[in-house]
Amino acid sequence: MAASPLASANLLRRQLKGMQSDKDLSNISVGLVEDNIYEWEVMLMISDDCKFYGGGFFRARLSFPVDYPHNPPNMKFETPIWHPNIYPDGNVCISILHPPEEDQYGYESAAERWLPVHTPETILISVISMLSSPNDESPANLEAAKQWRDDPAEFKKKARKCVRDSLEW
């Protein structure tokens, strides 16, 4: 059964309010883009213990479908970031944001993909975790994945440049 736009909008309002008041999420800031409940502006303030992106301030956008939570949002970094699981255009490639169906390539099980129990909070926490632990077996950015595997020192240098740039963005 599909969620009605009113139901999904109400759910997103509750989730937004909850995230904005959660003191444990001090490294994540969320707000609306032009008062549109389906478009969220996100700021991820990456803690210093993140090996490659620590100290960075990365802006992103979550775009929710009207049938949320039955289908996942799209997440796109607006701040440039070099990472195996982030396309060069900023779109995030992580299993939990893939539609809730069997993977046509057989790489992921349906259980690894989007489930309605995921929330904006769990998505953003998963993305922060992904920044520390890229999945180079299923990369969105082939060049970044190759560099991650073959030249870790150069990968780290490029990632640290993203962090410096993020502070000026």
Query: Which residues are marked as active site?
Result: 93
Measured in whole angstroms, how far is the alpha carbon of residue 107 from the centre of its chain? 20
The stretches of the chain forming alpha helices (DSSP H) are 5-21, 120-132, 142-150, 152-168
Residue 126, classed as helix, strand or coil, is: helix
Pair 110, 28: CB distance under 8 Å: no
The stretches of 44-132 forming alpha helices (DSSP H) are 120-132
Pair 29, 45: CB distance under 8 Å: yes
